[in-house]
Amino acid sequence: MSEAATHSVHPSATAGPGAKAAASTAGPGLLASLDPLLREWLPRQRWFAGKGRPVTGFTLVSATELLPVRSKLGLLHLLVRAHQPVLPTQGALPHPGDCYQLLIGVREALPPRLAPALIGHLDKGPLAGRTVYEALYDIRPAEVLLEALRTRAHIGELRFERDMRQDIPSGPVPRRVTAEQSNSSIVYGDTFILKLLRRIVSGTNPDLELPLALAREGCPRVPAPAGWLLADLGPDRESYVLGVLQPYLKGAADGWELALRELAKGQDFTAEARALGRATAEVHTALARVLPTVTLGPTQVQLMVDGMTERLELAAQAVPALQLYAPALRTAFEALADLAAEGRTWTAQRVHGDLHLGQCLRAPGGAWSLIDFEGEPSKPLAERRMPQPIARDVAGMLRSFDYAAHSVPRPVVPLRADDDSTATAADWATGCRAAYCTGYAEVSGRDPRTDPVLLRACETDKAVYEVVYEARHRPDWLPVPMAAIRRLAADEDPV
Ligand SMILES: Nc1ncnc2c1ncn2[C@@H]1O[C@H](COP(=O)(O)OP(=O)(O)O)[C@@H](O)[C@H]1O
Ligand SMILES: O=P(O)(O)O[C@H]1O[C@H](CO)[C@@H](O[C@H]2O[C@H](CO)[C@@H](O)[C@H](O)[C@H]2O)[C@H](O)[C@H]1O
């Protein structure tokens, strides 16, 4: 058993009064001394949502000592609001600033293995002379989090909960998931994975809500939550979801890695694409059984179209390269509004909301699971939880096959080693897109291709989202969604 497995959560902070004591050490005084370090460190994190605008200050939302900060190894849980200049898209009203979850380790000095986790050295305040760092790189803080979930600890405003039907072992060795992502995850001994959400929003979070609902329904395509971390904040003790613990799918590979691997070998991926279509349809069918569905009539469709059009306008302001294509892209949305005006209706239900190959995990036996039900992180929570046509998720996957094909720097890919014909990367994507829809239809009885107007509108909306996402997070990738924008504007994308 490792050093920290025997260590329980800081006892002085296991109840309300203890939390107040913690706040007197770890509260505003400490935040003031952390302020200059965080201003520099936070914007460099992949999960930081406010890229491109300086951080001008912080407000403390909650501070909880999980290990005493004056001890050899301290652990501080912080929720802080980062203040930044307001974006035009955030409207004229003052914006309170995004709230982030931080786990701050406190030590005298960092051992070399923790050097990449350094946030900085405190030169004033209650912990002057000590070093603060990203605690998720460290074993003991990770163990403290699992132990708190296992024992259903309530620590200040933090509430660690679990599903008692799942056995959570004590003492598995933790390791940080290093893949670039929107949140931060820790794997425990290949049995569980804890995802800590970084940008925290109030209200029911679909990343916990939907997997819980699917687990109730017995849907095997989504790992069932085993534990979750909440913060009860404000005078009304409103719950904020901070993290979710799930069984770890050992040896699983994500659809993105697999697709790139097969592309690099010139291998066909249509059998997997078809299996992914089947898995998506299974999840959709279960969601439609367990959560409400609604019919979208002309008014609701017009609202959806207005949302798509507005997102396009805002995106074209943020990424001027879109402006040339905006009029043609708008026709995809107008065609949908025209169908609704003629009396066509659509069924809407809860969907994944940000489905792409990276959200699909294939277990060694070949079964696919879907993960990460957070939805598009930049959208307000209420919007992410609204029932949507299933074409939203289908469009996400179709875009993803296109992404994979166009991220491999190879213009021509032979599909089979024994095949003397060659196919372009675009043909690879076309084959996968068709196979995915076939698989979807096999399970659901509805082929998404039979609704091309809706699919084109959803794919256009997704590609516009991707342009903004890439411009903000990975400018080198911008050509991938921009190429799709050109094809969608010309109505050339075959399904
Ligand atoms: N249940 C799981 N089993 C195995 N690996 C997982 C599991 N859940 C997530 N992962 C891995 O962790 C990564 C990040 O998880 P994800 O929920 O997508 O977080 P983010 O919101 O940060 O993108 C995934 O890409 C996947 O590789
Ligand atoms: O971090 P999340 O996985 O929640 O999603 C965000 O990041 C994704 C990239 O990691 C982004 O997906 C886009 O790039 C993928 C390849 O890396 C591609 O497969 C997707 O089709 C494409 O949308 C996703 O949009 C974003 O929300």
Question: Rounded distance, CA 72 to CA 127, Å?
Answer: 12
Q: Whose CA is nearest to atom 26 of ligand 1?
A: 254
Residue 111 has pLDDT above 50, yes or no: yes
- Residue-level pLDDT at 418: 54
Give the whole-angstrom CA distance, residue 480 versus residue 265. Answer: 21
Question: Which is more confidently placed, 398 or 51?
Answer: 398
What's the rounded Cα separation, in Å, for the pair 242 and 339?
Answer: 41
Eight-state DSSP code of residue 379: S
Look at 116-120, 172-176, 222-226, 421-425 and tell me which has the smallest mean pLDDT: 421-425
pLDDT at residue 86, as a whole number: 79
Q: Give yes or no for residue 14 having a pLDDT over 70.
A: no
Q: Which amino acid is at 20?
A: K
Residue-averaged pLDDT of the chain: 90
CA of 211 to the centre of ligand 1 (A): 13
What is the residue whose two structure tokens read 């030169």?
123
Which of residues 495 and 340 earns the better pLDDT score?
340
ipTM above 0.90, yes or no: yes
What confidence score (pLDDT) does residue 393 get?
98
Pocket test for ligand 1, best of 45, 185, 190, 249 (most atoms within 8 A of CB): 185
pLDDT of 108 strictly over 50: yes
In degrees, to the nearest 5, what angle opens at C-alpha 209 toward C-alphas 217 and 152?
Answer: 100
What is the arithmetic mean of pLDDT over 303-308?
96
Q: Percent of the chain having pLDDT more than 90?
A: 78
CA–CA separation, 236 and 98 (whole Å): 20
State whether the beta carbon of 470 lies less than 6 angstroms from ligand 2.
Answer: no
Q: Is 466 in the pocket of ligand 2 (CB under 6 A)?
A: yes
Check whether 412 has a pLDDT greater than 70.
no
**pLDDT of 415 strictly over 80:** no
- The Cα 392–Cα 457 span in angstroms is 9
- The two structure tokens encoding residue 414: 């032979």
Higher pLDDT, 409 or 446: 446
Q: Which of 180, 181, 250 to mutate to test the pocket of ligand 1 (most atoms within 8 A of CB)?
A: 181
pLDDT of residue 8: 33
Atom of ligand 2 nearest to the CA of 181: 1
Taking the C-alpha atoms of residue 25 and residue 104, their distance in angstroms, rounded to an integer, is: 14
* Largest CA-CA distance found in the chain, in angstroms, rounded: 74
Mutual orientation of helices 298-318 and 452-473 as an angle, nearest 10°? 30
With a 6 Å cutoff on the Cβ, whether 363 touches ligand 1 is: no
Report pLDDT for 29.
Answer: 82
pLDDT in tens, 184-219: 999 999 999 999 999 999 889 999 999 999 999 999
Q: Say whether 61 sits in a helix, a strand or coil.
A: strand
* pLDDT computed for residue 279 by the predictor: 98
C-alpha of residue 355 to centroid of ligand 2, in Å: 8
Amino acid sitting at position 179: A
Residue type, 367: A
Q: How far is the C-alpha of 11 from the C-alpha of 230, rounded, in Å? A: 19
Ligand 2 centroid to 205 CA: how many Å?
Answer: 19
* pLDDT at residue 51, rounded to an integer: 83
DSSP 112: G
The per-residue pLDDT for 442 is: 98
**Does position 24 have pLDDT exceeding 90, yes or no?**
no
Q: Give the pLDDT band of residue 491 (cuts 50, 70, 90).
A: confident
Helices then strands (H, E): number in the chain? 13, 20
pLDDT tens, 359-393?
Answer: 999 999 999 999 999 998 878 899 999 999 999 99
- Round the CA-based radius of gyration of the chain to a whole number and report it: 24
Asked whether the predicted pLDDT for residue 414 surpasses 70, the reply is no
Cβ-in-10-Å burial (0-12, 13-18, 19+) of 182 comes to buried
Interval between CA 82 and ligand 2 midpoint (Å): 24
Tokens of 93: 């009203």
What is the average pLDDT across 317-344? 97
Residues near 49 by beta carbon (within 8 Å), at least 6 away in sequence: 98, 198, 199, 377, 378
Q: What is the pLDDT of residue 89?
A: 60
In this prediction, residues 53-77 reach a mean pLDDT of 95
The pLDDT, as a whole number, for residue 12 is 34
Across the strands, what pairs with 74? 106
- Sorted by sequence, the CB contacts under 8 Å of residue 380 that are 6+ apart come out as 201
Domains of the chain, first to last: 29-87+94-247 (no CATH), 253-489 (3.90.1200.10)
